[in-house]
Structures are given as structure tokens and as C-alpha cells.
Structure 1
Amino acid sequence: MIVLIPKKTNGFFSLISLFRLFTVFVLGVYTAVGQESISKDSLQKLSYDELYTAYRNANGDTLISKLYLSTYLEKAMADMDTIKMAEAYSSLSYYAAEESEKIALLDLAIAITKRLDNDRYPIKAYSFKGGYYFTKGDYQRALDNYILALALSEQVQNTEYIQSTNHNIACIKTKIDKHEEALTLFKENFEYESDRDELNAMSYLLSLIPMAESYRYNKLLDSASFYNHKGIVMSLKSKKLKHHFYGKLVLNEGVNLFFKEHFDRAYDSINKGIRLLKEEQIKDNESYVLGSFYLGRLYLKKEDTLRAEKEFLDMDALIQKDNIILPETRKGYEFLIAWYKTNSEQEKQLTYINRLLQFDRVIGSQRASVSTKLFKEFDTPLLLKEKEDVITKLEENASTLSFWVIILVLLSLMATGFTYYQFVKRKKYQQKFNELLTQGNKREESSTKLADDEIGIADEVVNDILSKLDQFEEELQFLQKNISISSLAKEINTNTKYLSKVINYHKNKSFTNYVNELRVQYSVEQLKENTSLKNYTIQGIAEEMGFNSAESFSAAFKKSTGIKPSYFMRKLTSLNVE
């Protein structure tokens, strides 16, 4: 199909040229499906919802999908419905063969909706443009469009698009190794998806998977496994979810197992993931690249260099075919260069030296194109607005140079204040650590307050409960998982009301805080005395202490001691080294 390429007018496609593009695009669609059983007249009778539903149910049939969308667009043009026109242009862009066609259709959707103050357009079109540039590896243009989409989303207070755009920006941060910043955004988006009134399983998994990958990139392997398994369970709830996500999740967990040094399980999981992706005919070449790369590394662990070579060559073939650049796969090229050097195959050695040089050039270009300054403007919107205000005032009056001085002073004060805050925080943490290090192992004794007048329970009952609580503490029963006030009340032959009142009054805390503080205090004692426990992960220690997750343990530890368990363990380790 021949398509007219619109000329640019002052940096934008002229609307006349864009409409001409659409006309040829639609005529090409009707020509291509002219012999199909679906008639144009029958489609014209369908409502917008019926046409759009039919398009979504076309199951990837490009010609039929384009036919429904083109009919949808003609109907919108006849009704002069600008938003529905923009919806059609944006969806049709997916099927355009050339980049110029895709961008032209999206620019048209933007141009006709730019001044409408709609809650979806042109936000969605900017998001589509960002997504297209992202898949092409043009992260600077992708970020430019995402920033525009985010600004408009905030302007119309569209929370859904704010969250999805933040998620997309996190994906860009991941590509340039800003993993800690990316994880923060991924977690916020996942929390948003999890808290929806009606959970959208597709959106939920699309949010969960890159977050789990980000946990791996941040070396939080237990958390990565936790969410991979959570995703696997969700993906098995329907045939559609299994088709789209199960294979990728299994493969991702295999990669995670590699870093946990469970090499046999990693090998099985990665192979299974690749097989599932191929069976479902999923075109996720990035996953195939990762799969081949880590299978190659696993074969190297087994000293099977011939199979490792094959996997790294498969990895390279995919990279060359689809221009997939993943920084972690660089080691594959390093192996091939060293392997062919060892075998005196100079031509192949030179080939992969050149490919590694090109690989490094692309990585460097990607990182340079998305400047740190631009990311800081995204991360600190208040500072960006302040900067824009200062620039505007400078243009209005040359005397506003004083504002720059004020801003610099404020920023200096802020920097000084932040530095002082960090100093005080570190000093406070050190003090808390020293207190924990020097305190004895004696647990807090119960209050000797009289119970009868204060809480309405007979003294003998109170004393009996306190005695059994002492036994509960001495026998370390608080380390049991999922212990509740009901189960403990039953264990010591009392009721939950009495038990709650006695703990509240004599321990000066709620039941939950009482149990958590016992566990935390015990963990401190054990970490000081039990050297093997220091080799555990936070997740492992949490389980030993009766907590259900690393997060709940860390929160309870911080609340009880004032410092995080990771800090306490790190300081203990440094003391041992010294």
C-alpha cells in the first residue's frame, strides 16, 4: 500500500496533509478487504461501542482490525466527534507499516484534541508516541512524550494516566540503570493497581512483572521471588492470563534463581519459560535474549563451553535482528571474544569485538540522550515549577537577577539543612545501635499496677494471666507464626477481652505490639550472639522470628528500635571485621 507522507509545517504536520494520509490509509484498508464477507454497509449500521468491541475481538487479524477502526473513524468524522476521531487515529497507528505513518496519525490525534481539555486526549496519543519510541530504543523521545502526557494528566487530574505514565518513565529509568529510582515508581504503580475497586488482572500483572525485575536489579532477590510467585499464581487463573504472562514469569524467576545460586533450578525454570513462550507464540524477543544469555552463563558454570557458545550466539542473533540492547548481556560478547581468541579464530574474534564496540556505543548513546537534568526535573516537579517562574520573571525584568541569588541561597540552605539532617540521622542511628549493643537480654517486666480497681478484673485472674505470659515469653512461644490473641487466650485458658486488658494495662501496649516487640528484642539478642544468623537474608530472619514477610519484620524492628534491621546487621558485621 502506497501512503502519502505529509510535509512538515513549522515543525508540525499540516492538517491537510494528515487528512490526506488518513484518506489513502483508509482506502488501502477497504481495497485490501474488499473481497471479504464483511460489507462496508453492514459496518456503518453498527454503533461506536459495537465497532470498537468487534475491533478488540478481532484476535490480531490486522486487516479486519483496520476495517473496524476505519469504519469507526468515518462514523466519527461524519458526526464531527473529535475525541472518537482521535481514538481511531491512535488505534490505527498501531497498524501503520512505516514510522512516518504511525507518528503522523498520532500527531493528528494530538492536533485535533490539543485545546479540548479532555481527560484522555491528547494524553493517550502522547503516551502511544512515547511507547513507540521506547520500543525503538529512542528513550529521549519516549521521555519527551511521557513528560507531556504526565503534565496533561496532572492538569486534568487523571490518576490512571498519571500512574501509567510514571510506570512508563520507570521503564526508561531501568534501561539506563537507574534501578533504585525506577523501583520507587514501580512500587507506587503496583500499589495503585492493587488498590483498584475492581482489580484488572492484565494491568496488575503488567505492573507486577517489571517491579519484580526491578527488585532483582536492586539485588532484593527474596522480594523478586515473592512477586514472581505471586504473579505466577495470578497468571494461572485464566487461559488469557496464562497465554500472555505465565512463560515470562517462569523465565524471570529462573533468572532470579541464577543470582540466588540455585543453578539447577534456574536452568529448569529458564528452559521451561522459553518453551512456554514458544508454545504460546509470544513475540517477546527481549525475554528470549535474556533466556539465551543466562542459559549460556549456566553452561559456563557447568564448564560446557560449546553449549555456552551456542546460547551466546543465539543471543547475538536476536540482538542483531531486533536491535535489543540489554546492558547485562554484555558478558555474552566478552565470552565470545575470549573463546574465539583461545581457539585462534581471528575473524570471528574481530566480528564480536566490533559488535561489542557497537553494543557499548548504543548503551552510551542511550544513557547520554536521557540526561540526568531531565530526570531531576521529573523527580522534583516543584523545583521545575520554581525554575520556570524564575525564567519568566527574568524575561519580564532584567532586575530579577536578584531572584537567582535568592534561589541559590535557598538551595544552599536546603543543601546545608539536608546535610545536617543526614548527619543528625546517622548520629541518632549510631546512638540507637550502641544502646542495642550494650543493653542486656532481660525483657521488660510487667507493671505492678493494681488491676481490680482499674480494669475490672479480679487480682487472682490478673496474676494468673501475667504468670502465663511470663511462661509464654520464657518458652519463646512468640516465635510461632500467625499467633493471634484468640489462639493465645485459648492456650492460657482465658478470654480475649481479659487478655487484651491485661496486656494493654500491664505491658502498656497492644497485643500486636507486645508480640512484635518480643520478637524484635529476641532477634537483636540472637544477631549479637548467633554468628550464623548474620548470614541470613532479612526474609530469612523474619521467618525465624515468626514474621510473615521481610517488610513486616523491618517495619516492626524500626518501630521498636528506631533503626532498620539491615543497618543493625551491617554495623554488627563491621564491628566483627574490625
Structure 2
Amino acid sequence: MKTQIKILLILNLVVCCSIFGQRSTKASVLLDSISSKVSYKANPLEIIKLSKKLLKAGEKERDTFLILRALHHLGRRSQFANENYKSIKYFNRELLFFTNNLLSQKVKNELKGTEIAPVEIYAQLGNNFSNLGDKKKALEYFNLSKNIAEKEELPFYKAVIPVLIGEIKVSIKEYDQAIKYYKLGLKRLESSKVINEKTKKFNSSITVRNLAHTYLLKNEIDSAKFTLNYGINKGYHTNTKNSELIYSIVKAEILIFENKLNEALEQYKTIENKSNILDPAKGILYYYNGYAKCLAKLGKYKMAIDLMKKGILIRLKEAKDFSLSEDYKQLAKYYKADGNLEKSNTYFEKYVLSQTALERNKRDVIKEFHDNELQSLNSQKEQQQKITSLLIIGGTVVIILLLLYLFILSKRKKKNTKKFEELLRKIESLEQQQKLVDTKDDVLEEKSTLDINKETFDEILTGLQKIEEQHYYLKQECNSYNVAKKIKTNTSYLSKVINAHHQKNFNTYINDLRINYAILKLKEDTRFRSYSIQSISEDIGYKSPDSFTKYFKRRTGLLPSVYIKKLNLIT
């Protein structure tokens, strides 16, 4: 588990603050329920659901403390669920209460002893941007948090923020700088007389582990061993139930660096048994990545592939697809090494597509992928000229498969271009652009309108026209019940009128309006085009980017990202 997930140890230790003034029983029960469920093993989606209810209760009761508590839980749990954009949104809302001086003295008293403070919010914003690959932005927020910690003399953050900065330095391969920050953080942790012993030991354990791993990345194996043994002598490996496991994993990594692969393999078998005892449901998440690398180095590619797929399957239960990009890349490499280029290409494509949360980096990722493939192909050709005719035949098969893959990609590109041009012509030729997408359903919910008089029928149509003009269909709460209520009818009459007049069901009607809006808005507004797919989908009323992508592709024949890319090319 990453240090950034553990920065708020306080989260596990904190109990709900004393409640001042009047607060509804419902809100108090929700607050207690969330506090009892919060742990690093908890399903983040369950806590997100409860926190949304708490936020509504806080807004209804105008209770700033409840709102802040809910926003903080939503920010943290969205982070754990790899919903970093949503997490940033929640933390920014939380930060506004501090930057706009919206806190009364009563609320400030309630917040004492909790983790809700600018120093913490900046740190979590840094973690989010780090997860999204924006290391520069992450450093900016970590430095803001560090400055507050230094100014206000906050020992915990003065010790932990350098560790987070160290992680950023590792990610950009500034290993010497990372080691410097890790050592500073460790020194402050171990020498502090203010931080409680449990927190000191917990964070020191993580910092030593990170420091040892960084030495490995520098290929300084002796320093890595010394650092790990230092942590063991300090008893850091016994700090929590999983600390000994994590230290064992670092030991295994050292063995791999020393090319003691069989010893590493035995170590991972032990780790596997202990992990599954510690956490039968998700124990594999501790070790599957490193274990698979060890198996691959031993040439056991099929076992490595099987292990990776099991780990990915467990991660997908709580994480979004885009957060698995590195796993897909690793799996693609193992398939390639095993000779299954078809599967390799499939997972390389998954790797590329999973970058949609980082849309601005997508072109660079694709270019790097193709450059690496081309370089690998050239290298294979050179080697094949020096070996037997059997390997030459094998190389030829590889080339044919790659050419076939490139041909399929080219054909797909031409197909997308054709569909895009047809869509543009359709936009330009139709006067009533709201009819650009007009799906007809074969099966309708309500066929008969005999029980609706003409006056009522026309009133409902007029109401629907107002709904369209006001763009109410872009709101996430837009459903048949709310629309019927808004135009003063019932859901049965509403469905019958839509079925009879538009020849489509209610859901199809709303989806057509949203997709029409998206097509035209993306064409006309370059700024809207720069948003992530997730942000666009939320702006037009979808609760998930998957639903938006599905309906957009179904109506236009194009993925939203492809449509945006082609619009950018012609402008």
C-alpha cells in the first residue's frame, strides 16, 4: 500500500467530535455509522454512499461540520476508489470553507482533533495529482502543505510531507533527491517527542521500506539491505499485521535484483500463504505484481500471466479501469514474451485506452508504444539474421501478425474517419439540429394513448418542449418521475406521449437529447473539448463515463475520444 494512502493515520484513530447544538438523529446515526466503518480494508464505495447521504443531511440542516466531514470522507474514499477527479472536486469544495473564512468559532471547535484542515487538504490534493501523473502540480500542493506545517509547527506533517515529496522524486527518477527527503522525514519521525509512538512507528516503517526500495532502483543493493535490516532491528516490521509481509516483499525484491530468482520464488510462495491468511479476499493484491515479475524472469510466462489476471480481477472490484494501466502493460509484455502476440496487442490496447482519465497524455503514450514496438521488431530482425532458419520462420510469423494488427488499426481509422465525415455533413445539412440523433425504439413501454385527451396530450408536449429548451435533460436527477412532476403529469401519461409522438421510450428520448447536445457542444466549444471524458459525461447528466461512451458510440458509431481528436485536427 502506498504511503499516500496512509498519510492520515489520524483517520483510523479519530473518533467523531462532540456534537454542539442541535443535530438530527438521522445525521448523528450516519456520522457514527461512517466512523465505525472507516478502515483501510473497507470498501470505499460503501463509505462513499453513506457520505453522500451525510452531505445531503448537512446541507439540509445547514450544518457546516457535517458538510466538511462528508466532503472529507468523499474526497478520501474517492481517492481510494481511484476516482481522482471526483476526489479533487470534493477537496476543493472543502478548501473553500477555509479560504473564504466561512467557519464559525463553533465549527472550529468541533474540528479540533480531526484531520480536516488546509494542511491536510493540500496534501491530499497533491496525492490526487500524483496519481493522475501530474507530478508538477502534485509538488506544488505538497509544498503548500509543507509551508503550512513549517509555519504552524505541525510535527506530523513536517515529518510526513517530505516522505510524499520523496515518492514524487522517485517517480521522476530523481533518486538522490528522494533519498534525501526520505531521510529527512525519517529523522523527524524518530526524533519527535510530540507524535504518538504508534503513529511514529507506523510511518517510520513505511519510510524505511520506501528508502530501501529507492536504493534498489539505484542498484545499490548493499544500502538497500542495510536499510531494510535497520528497520527490522527497530522492530518496524512488526508494527502492524501487514508490516512483516511488506518487509518480506522488499526482501524478495532484493533477491530478484541479486538474480537469486529461486530464493525469491520461495520467498513469494511464503508471502502468498501469509497474505491469503491475513486477507483471504484481497491478499493477492500484496504480492501479485512482484511475484509475476519473478516468474517471468524465470521464463514461467504462463504462470505470470495467470497471476496477473487474478490480481487485476480483484482490483477491478474496487478500482476504475484506468488505474490498471501499468498492470495491462506488464501483462502485455508477458504475453509477448510467451509468443501470444494477439493477446499482447489486446492488452497493449487496453493499456492505451485506460489512459482516458489522462487524456492529455494519450498521444504520447500511443507514440511511445508504437516506437517501442518498432524498436523491438528491428531488434528481433537483427537477431534473427544470426540464428537458425526455424527462428527466422518464427520471426516472419511475428512480422505478419504485427502487419495484420497495423492493417486492422488502419482499417478502423478509415472507418472512424468516414463516420466522422458523415456526422459533420449531417450536422451541416440539418436545420433542426436537435434531430441529429433520433433513435426509434422497436418495443415501446406504453402504446395506447386512448385515455389521454388531446388537450392533455398537447400540454405534455408543450412541457417537454420547455424541458428541452431549459436543458433540464442535462441534470443527473432527470428521470421520468422528476420530469412528470415538473410538467405536472404522471409517469404513465408521460411515457405514452413520448412513445406516441417520438416513437421512442423515455430513456431513449433523454439519451438522444444528451448525445445531440454533446455532439454540437463539442463541435462548437474548443474548451469543452479539452475536458476529460469523465467531466464531459458528468456535465451532460451521466453518472459514469462508461454510460456516456456507450450511448455516444451507439448513436454516432464513434468513441467520444475519437470524435474529439478528429474535431481538433480540423480546427
Return the TM-score normalized by structure 2: 0.44
Identify the structure with bigger relative contact order (alpha carbons < 8 Å, sequence gap 6+).
Answer: 2
TM-score, normalising length from structure 1? 0.44
